[in-house]
Structure 1
Amino acid sequence: MSTGEAGDAAGPAFRQQVVAMLPRLRRFARGLTGGSAADADDLVQIAVMRAIERAGQWVVGTRLDSWLFRIVHNAWIDEVRSRKVREADPDADFDRMVGDHGEPRVEASLTLEAVRKATAKLPEEQRAVLMLVCVEGLSYRDAADSLGVPIGTVMSRLARARAALAARLGGARPGAAGGNVIKLG
């Protein structure tokens, strides 16, 4: 397959597909940035600009989502390299959950906050794999393509991420007698 011409590839159909991907790109970016909505929005803006500028590099017939996730990930790597990673409260910019019942809302909010905090503490490599596979639903192969790593690396990073989350969220292990089972993907 060949790449499209920059003019054709960045046309209205391409742009519509990119716009349709924005919620997923933002969700992935929030995972990479530790949950900062502002940083995630900046990252997605950079990635979308790069995607439009380099639309001719996208191979027609391949998965646009994998290509866009890779651009977001590469933009994040560039950002981390260009500045010292600042320590920030990963929960500061998360939107609050809205619920009809006070108690379930508080309980669900506390559980969600615990998962967000635990996820934010994962190494970036594990967090990226976890977001792509468990949140975005990419296959191991597509996640590997998006991150530019072998599929075995995706599998090992995902296993380590799941184990670390289980340990941080009360030591629950899949299949542990009497423990909570945490299913992530």
Structure 2
Amino acid sequence: MTNDTLNVPERLVAFLPNLRRFAISLCHSRELADDLVQSTCERAIAAADTFVAGTRFDAWLFRILRNLWIDHLRRARTAGPQEDLEEAREVSTPSGEAASEARMTLLEVTEALQKLPEEQREVLVLVCVEELSYRDTAEVLSIPIGTVMSRLARARKNLAELMGISGEEKRSSNMKGDVA
């Protein structure tokens, strides 16, 4: 075993919140996300000797998790319909008007994010939340970098529309000076 192999469990523990956040964005269920994260941990530890030193540990883990999610979806298709229970999303914040507004905004953003097509949501979460580079995101999702950029642009545009944010006022005010 190499030193990098020995560090996989320690690095994995430190990265659990990121894995869980990505898992929740994929499956919309905290319980299922926890199961995916646990399976990801098991697979990462079992395959620790396959991790290539000098590569992105987070991208390696995200790829394992995403592959497990795809496997889950394939199994679910053959298993037939399942009962889907909507979970309450709880945010722990101090009381007060600012906290209430923050909680409402977070819920609105979460709901809007869930309305995005899965391929846009995956790219948006990996690039904007998990701060992966376009190259690493492309590697995790097994798509070209150009596709990452395209999906990210559409995801940002669609999310802004869902949130009622429009950049058109800005553009039209800039163009007023150009019209003769």
TM-score normalised by the shorter chain: which range applies? 0.7 to 0.9
Question: Which letter maps to 1:176?
Answer: E
Match of 2:18 among 7, 16, 24: 24
Q: CA separation in 1, counterparts of 2:88 and 2:4?
A: 35
Match of 2:59 among 43, 52, 66: 66
Range 49-58 or range 68-77, more displaced? 49-58
Match of 2:74 among 66, 75, 81: 81
Q: CA separation in 1, counterparts of 2:154 and 2:162?
A: 12
Q: 1:81 to 1:116 in 2, by over 3 A?
A: same
Corresponding residue of 1:100:
95
| Structure 2, gaps ≥5 residues long | 172-180
TM-score, normalized by length of structure 2? 0.84
Maintained 8 Å contact 1:144/1:154: yes
| Structure 1, gaps ≥5 residues long | 180-185
Corresponding residue of 2:134:
140
Corresponding residue of 1:111:
105
Question: Which letter maps to 1:52?
Answer: I
Question: Which letter maps to 1:72?
Answer: L
Corresponding residue of 1:122:
116
TM-score, normalized by length of structure 1? 0.82
Corresponding residue of 1:177:
169
Secondary structure in structure 2 of the residue aligned to 1:60: coil
Q: CA separation in 1, counterparts of 2:64 and 2:89?
A: 23
Q: CA separation in 1, counterparts of 2:107 and 2:66?
A: 24
Q: CA separation in 1, counterparts of 2:134 and 2:66?
A: 16
What CA RMSD, in Å, does the superposition of the two structures yield over aligned residues? 2.1
Maintained 8 Å contact 1:132/1:138: yes
Secondary structure in structure 2 of the residue aligned to 1:138: coil
Question: Which letter maps to 2:168?
Answer: A
Match of 1:48 among 41, 52, 60: 41
Secondary structure in structure 2 of the residue aligned to 1:83: helix
Maintained 8 Å contact 2:25/2:121: yes
Q: How many residues align?
A: 167
Q: 1:110 to 1:50 in 2, by over 3 A?
A: same
Q: Which structure: greater helix fraction?
A: 2
Q: Deviations over 1:31-55 (max 9, x none)?
A: 1112x21111111111111111111
